[in-house]
A and B are shown apart, each in its own frame.
Chain A
Amino acid sequence: MTSMADLTRLHLSRSRRRFLQTSIAGLSGIALSSCGWTLAKVQTDQVRQGASDELHVYTWSNYVDQELIDAFRSQTGIKVISDVFDSNETMLATFQAGKARTYSIIYPSDYKVSQMVKLGYLSELDHSRLDGLQNILPRFQKSVHDSGNRFSVPVSWGTTGLIYNSEKLTEPPTDWNYLWTHKDKLTRRLTLMDDVREVMGAVLRSLGYSYNSTDLQQIKQAYEKLQELKPAITTFTTDAWRDQLLAGDLSIAMGYSADAVNVINQNPKLKYVIPTSGTSLWSDTMVIPKTAPNPDAAYAWLSFMLQPEVAARVTERLFFATPNQAAFNQLPDTLKNNVTLFPPQNLLDKAETVAPLDKSILELYEKYWTKLTSS
């Protein structure tokens, strides 16, 4: 969930003191060795012991609220200090720049988990300490990014789809191809996400291919199809479409279901649709870094979050889809039947997870993206 606007927003909120801390930490993050140096190395073998009654959590802005923190404290006596990030990239950069020893719990998205595992940052979870892990939906137990939940516990999931203003469109969209068949009416009234893989994946899917295609011909075909749509696209933004969609400047925006849910709650005339030819399925997870100062408190947090009661209440309060079946069963019917949060099975069956790809293929995606956004 990257967005430039979010990134810059974060920079602004950073106080100067914090900036200096980060810069100095960045310098110390460079590890020198006799045969050169390693870029942004995190020393995972030196673990600092933190205060045992404190847990630092690094998470997205809408996942942890005061009520949750208070409930955890009354159960365990551990005080939670939570910091928020707004993109996985910011999170990883902060982690590498010297914050590795601060946090015992981090909330990376699925694709970032596989990257962090590859880098050797995450500790393998001791499943005997995690009651209720079997309640996680099978789909999220065998994610391509962390099969068997060896390193991560899924906490929330969602889809990518189209959000539209039902008062402005006579015929509602049902599939990605709607955008091409109506492109003349949509001139400069559509936003797509600011994310290569999501956008290219959707176009690949509309052509009947996989979100994770590695076929050079298919990728090229998708790029050409996307180029055709360009007059309709007014800009690429992941979440800054809200006001303009409401005002009628925009007709359709491509976005995450999590963003859609929040907007639709406040403005019922907006609707969310999962394209019938297939969409991407993402999840956000909780992990314990090897450098965690307080792993015991981290396990306490994971077990706490796995309690069906806790997961259900937090889903009700903060409106995200829980991957915990036992928690889902406790939800009120209005939430259970909310198709934006919990889409029907037939649509989920066609959904794919954006999977890690070879570097050379990623470069190709990136190259077409640069071409698209610079021509």
Chain B
Amino acid sequence: MSTKVPSESRPIAPTPQWLQALLLLVPAGVWLALLLVIPTLLIFELSLVPNIKPGDLVNPSGLGNYWRIFQSDVLNVIGRSLLFATGTTLLCLLMGFPVAYWIALLSPKRWRNLLLLAFVLPLWTSSLLRSYAWISILRPTGVLNTLLTSLGLPTLDLLNRSPAVFIGMTYSLLPYMVLILYASLEKLDRRFLEAAADLGATPPQAFWKVTVPQTLPGIAAGSLLVFITGLGDFINPELLGGTSSMTAARLIYNQFLGATQNWGFGSALSMVLILAVSLAIALLIKYGDKNASSL
């Protein structure tokens, strides 16, 4: 607090370790307990009540809500969510890696921060606005098709189909992937690349045997972040996906705010999503590179 150095330096009694831990952890701990742990436990309790809606007494009575998840239409919805999230992750990785590589290793150093900033700039506008922009671009008489027609090319009917969802989601999540890969690539020890070249490795060999393994933790962290965020995205599928775009997130929304108001089933679905995501993170911690913790 004070910048003045006390003229008489008295020996200060060391704070006991348990007190230090308490002081440092309590604010975040209380926050997490109030806004994460307790709500999650409440959702879990709700998931055990069949057919609960606002105003009902919470009276846990079994796993009925969980069995419903195994109905074919619900599995179908979960499958579609996984497909959207996985496809988006792969697209982000394929497009994000070259960009991050170029910014981190090849671009002029003084431009680097500006380039990164330019890449993150779209995140400053709301994601909903960006989805609406894609509607204007992709619709049958939209920007894209006007351009294609003026070039004498055949038009593309993308809006309200799965490709539009992939485009919208990839666009939304690409900056996150690039930022994380950039952080990883920036730390790349180039002496290994020089050594590889000295020992006769071709550039592609050096890339696959040196660059990729060294950035693997970044790739894993970036992919996980994009996958998890993609799994919970319902704006893009909803606005761009057309008639067959029901995702797990939207199905949960329907249970809470739709016609039937089945909060129990909605909670069970939420728990399954929370578990799936937790499992993915646990796997990353267990098998991911320990050095990745700095990311």
Contacts and interface: CB of A to CB of B under 8 A. Distances in A.
Interface of A: 2, 4-5, 7-9, 12, 23, 27, 30, 35-41, 87, 89-90, 92-93, 96, 119-120, 188, 196-197, 230, 233-236, 240, 243-244, 247-249, 359, 362-363, 365-367, 370-375
Q: Which of B80, B141, B260 has the most CB of A within 10 A?
A: B260
A363 B260 contact: yes
Contacts of A37: 57-58
B160 A234 contact: yes
Given A9-B128, A39-B58, A374 B242 contact: no
A370 B157 contact: no
Contacts of B55: 38-41, 119-120
A8 B238 CA distance: 11
Given A233-B243, A370-B251, A196 B139 contact: no
Closest 4 CB pairs of A and B: A89-B257, A373-B246, A40-B54, A374-B246
B243 A249 contact: no
Contacts of B74: 370
A363 B239 contact: no
7 contacts: A7-B257, A9-B128, A27-B34, A36-B58, A40-B55, A362-B260, A373-B244
B126 interface: yes
- Say which size band chain B's interface belongs to: 35 or more
A370 B238 CA distance: 14
A91 B90 CA distance: 39
Contact of B246 (A7, A87, A233, A370): A370
Nearest to B80: A374
A42 to B, nearest CB: 8
Given A4-B238, A366-B258, 7 more contacts: A37-B58, A119-B55, A196-B258, A230-B243, A249-B141, A370-B77, A374-B246
Given A235-B160, A371-B73, A365 B259 contact: yes
A248 B141 contact: yes
A360 to B, nearest CB: 9
Interface in B249-286: 250-251, 253-254, 257-260, 262-263
A236 B57 contact: no
Contacts of B257: 2, 7, 87, 89-90, 93
Contacts of B58: 36-39
B223 interface: no
B140 A249 contact: yes
A39 B46 CA distance: 9
